[in-house]
Amino acid sequence: MAAVLGLIIGVVTGIFLQPDIPIVLQPYLPIMVVAALDALLGAARAYFERSFSDKVFVISFFSNVITATLLVFLGNQLGVGSQLTTAVIVVMGIRIFSNVSAIRRFIFRG
């Protein structure tokens, strides 16, 4: 409930404020968003498995975001930023898919 409410608040704020993100942050924001999405879906899966822990969620959220950002930052330092971005996106995508499939199994029992 809190998660849905928070999502709605964030989206509405983003729509109404429409701020310009600083250029330094520009390559990292999509990665952060995807990582956070993965954390959220992992939390949803844990919720359906009745093993949801808010502590774990908060930690996984931050660790996901920070790890992804650091990875892309490292890639930018090494000159392979876009490739690492792709790698992160791919991994997060796979995780999102597996989480969604687990959630689907819990919802549809199959």
Judged by CB under 8 A, the residue of 42, 45, 57, 84 near another protein is 57
Task: Name the residue with tokens 């409930």.
Answer: 1
Task: Report yes or no: 26 and 55 within 8 Å, Cβ to Cβ.
Answer: no
| 7 touching another protein, by CB under 8 A | yes
| 30 touching another protein, by CB under 8 A | yes
Task: Name the residue with tokens 């009745």.
Answer: 50
Q: Closer to another protein at the Cβ: 1 or 107?
A: 1
Q: Closer to another protein at the Cβ: 6 or 105?
A: 6
Task: Report yes or no: 89 and 38 within 8 Å, Cβ to Cβ.
Answer: no
Contacts of 19 (CB under 8 A, 6+ apart): none
| 74 touching another protein, by CB under 8 A | no
Q: How far is the CB of 101 from another protein (least distance, A)?
A: 21
Instruction: Tell me the residue type at 28.
Output: Y
DSSP output for 32-84: HHHHHHHHHHHHHHHHHTT---HHHHHHHHHHHHHHHHHHHHHHHHHT-HHHH
Binding residues for another protein, rule CB under 8 A, total 37
| 2 touching another protein, by CB under 8 A | yes
Residues of this chain that interact with another protein (CB under 8 A) are: 1-11, 13-15, 18-21, 23, 26-27, 29-30, 32-33, 36-37, 39-40, 43, 54-55, 57-58, 61, 81-82
